[in-house]
């Protein structure tokens, strides 16, 4: 009788133990994709400039990557590889730590510090947190503690990159009699954005001018000069595309890669902004597509996002350094003043100097990173612009997409061909340099 009682008690204890054992919080790649998408939506809402948007993408990804790479046999920490990024303090980790969860928490904790609409991100974050607490409170708290510790380490480093100081620097001076110097363009005539972006600390590059491109053709109104030929080239391609109408493939390309968060729309007495993603956001979207197409693991997905974001970040610093050094006038200004005052570019001219093309530099850099990660001839359907009313374009490789993105600026009437070609080369050099200078995977 006593033996039976002992068996029953033992069975009850086993039953209670099993009943009290809580499920683990399952974090998938969709969690990180959805969180990146949420950050993109907030950036569009807040209308961040392309350079600032690149900064907003990169630091949360670095935080997530550092969580995963901590004591990781496959992935190597970026400390002492990124400029002024110190090693994380020694943290004792339990075997039960959910690193994927901690990485996602670190991503959101850093993101929150970078946007204006913090409450939108906090609401999104809190909805996830309450769900995870209900699944396994102990596991969540452990991951949150580690994730926040890494996030705080990254934020301290982030806040020392000179961004805060540039907020108080003077606007770009446009008082000039030189017809070839940049001036604000219609319809909003905005001052040049981020004229001091070259003072932001690069992540990999040694300096903002490390990949300084060769000078553009010497500005001239001489019809035999290379510059004038490029100017007329912009004018002629715009007129040709307009004649072709909506059937023009070049028009489709220009619209697909517009990615201008500063488009102003005039209707009667009203002017309002038409919100769009930035060039960096488009390439972050392509990274997402590549990760999904290749069924990348959570770790590889974070790695791909991080490396791509680093390339985009440094590409903008390099490009903006050249823009405000050469300070070259936009085609629209010269064509309206000296050739045809009724001419309009197919795309609205962004508010900053012309040389080099930001799309070209960023696309060149990002495409080299993604090619290194996923291989050449990686065919994909680019669905990034679907949420913004544009269609789908198919590319045979990342470099194929970069070439088209660069050319789109010439078709759109906002860049000379030199800015496109030399900008693409500038970006490729940055991409190659990052591929050869940073070790993400342990041997």
The one-digit pLDDT tens for each residue of the chain (443 residues) are: 555 555 444 445 444 444 456 799 999 999 999 999 999 999 999 999 999 999 999 999 999 999 999 999 999 999 999 999 999 988 888 889 999 999 999 999 999 999 999 999 999 999 999 999 999 999 999 999 999 999 999 999 999 999 999 999 999 988 788 999 999 999 999 999 999 999 999 999 999 999 999 999 999 999 999 999 999 999 999 999 999 998 899 999 999 999 988 776 555 544 445 678 999 999 999 999 999 999 999 999 999 999 999 999 999 999 999 999 999 999 999 999 999 999 999 999 999 999 999 999 999 999 999 999 999 999 999 999 998 888 999 999 999 999 999 999 999 999 999 999 999 999 999 999 999 999 999 87
pLDDT value, residue 10: 47
Give the pLDDT of residue 389: 86
Contacts of 254 (CB under 8 A, 6+ apart): 241, 346, 347, 408, 411, 412, 413
Alpha helices in 75-187 (DSSP H): 99-111, 118-135, 137-158, 163-166
Both structure tokens of 2: 């006593």
In angstroms, rounded to a whole number, what is the distance separating the alpha carbons of residues 202 and 207? 7
Place of tokens 């974090």: 27
pLDDT at 274: 66
Q: Which is it for the CA torsion 246, 251, 253, 256, positive or negative?
A: negative
Which of helix, strand or coil describes residue 94?
coil
Residue recorded with tokens 């991080």: 306
pLDDT score recorded for residue 269: 45
Query: What is residue 18's predicted lDDT score, i.e. its pLDDT?
Result: 43
- List alpha helices for 72-136, DSSP H: 99-111, 118-135
Distance CA 153, CA 160 (A): 12
* Distance separating alpha carbons of residues 227 and 418, to the nearest angstrom: 9
> Who contacts 164 (Cβ-Cβ below 8 Å, separation ≥6)?
none
pLDDT value for 299: 97
The CA radius of gyration of the chain, in Å to the nearest whole number, is: 25
Beta bridge partners of 441: 75
Exposed/middle/buried for 275, CB within 10 Å: 0-12, 13-18, 19+?
middle
Domain positions in the chain are 22-164, 175-437
**Six-digit token string for 233:** 């080239």
Cis status of the peptide bond prior to 316, with omega within 30 of 0: no
DSSP state, residue 377: S
Residue-level pLDDT at 2: 53
For the beta carbon of residue 438, count every other beta carbon within 10 angstroms.
Answer: 17
Classify domain 175-437 at the CATH topology level.
Vanadium-containing Chloroperoxidase; domain 2 (1.10.606)
- pTM for this one? 0.94
Q: How many CB atoms lie within 10 A of CB 396?
A: 12
pLDDT at 263: 79
Fold (CATH) for 22-164: Vanadium-containing Chloroperoxidase; domain 1 (1.20.144)
| Residue 323: both structure tokens together | 């823009």
């Amino acid at each position: 009788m006593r033996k039976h009682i002992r068996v029953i008690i033992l069975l009850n204890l086993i039953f209670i133990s099993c009943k009290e054992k809580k499920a683990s919080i399952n974090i998938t790649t969709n969690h990180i994709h959805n969180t990146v998408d949420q950050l993109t939506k907030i950036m569009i809402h807040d209308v961040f400039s392309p350079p600032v948007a690149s900064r907003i993408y990169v630091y949360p990804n670095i935080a997530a990557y550092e969580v995963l790479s901590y004591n990781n046999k496959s992935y190597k920490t970026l400390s002492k590889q990124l400029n002024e990024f110190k090693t994380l303090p020694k943290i004792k980790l339990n075997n039960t730590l959910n690193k994927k969860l901690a990485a996602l928490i670190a991503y959101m904790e850093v993101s929150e510090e970078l946007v204006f609409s913090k409450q939108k991100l906090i609401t999104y974050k809190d909805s996830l947190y309450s769900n995870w607490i209900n699944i396994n409170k102990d596991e969540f708290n452990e991951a949150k503690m580690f994730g926040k510790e890494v996030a705080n380490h990254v934020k301290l480093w982030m806040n020392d990159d000179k961004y805060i100081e540039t907020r108080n620097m003077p606007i770009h001076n446009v008082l000039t009699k030189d017809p070839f110097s940049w001036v604000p363009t219609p319809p909003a005539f905005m001052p040049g954005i981020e004229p001091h972006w070259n003072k932001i600390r690069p992540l990999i590059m040694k300096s903002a001018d490390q990949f300084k491109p060769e000078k553009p053709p010497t500005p001239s109104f001489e019809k035999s000069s290379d510059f004038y030929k490029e100017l007329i080239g912009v004018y002629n391609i715009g007129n040709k595309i307009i004649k072709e109408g909506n059937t023009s493939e070049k028009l489709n390309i220009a619209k697909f890669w517009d990615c201008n968060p500063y488009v102003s729309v005039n209707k009667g007495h009203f002017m309002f902004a038409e919100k769009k993603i930035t060039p960096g956001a488009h390439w972050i979207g392509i990274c997402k597509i590549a990760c999904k197409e290749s069924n990348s693991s959570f770790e590889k997905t974070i790695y791909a996002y991080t490396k791509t974001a680093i390339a985009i970040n440094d590409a903008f610093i390099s490009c903006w350094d050249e823009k405000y050094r050469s300070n070259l006038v936009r085609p629209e200004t010269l064509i309206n003043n000296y050739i045809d005052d009724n001419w309009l570019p197919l795309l609205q001219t962004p508010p900053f100097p012309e040389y080099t093309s930001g799309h070209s530099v960023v696309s060149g850099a990002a495409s080299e990173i993604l090619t290194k990660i996923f291989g050449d001839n990686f065919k994909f359907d680019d669905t990034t612009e679907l949420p913004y009313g544009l269609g789908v374009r198919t590319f045979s490789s990342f470099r194929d997409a970069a070439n088209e993105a660069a050319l789109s600026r010439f078709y759109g009437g906002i860049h000379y061909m030199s800015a496109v070609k030399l900008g693409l080369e500038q970006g490729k050099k940055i991409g190659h340099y990052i591929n050869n200078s940073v070790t993400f995977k342990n041997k």
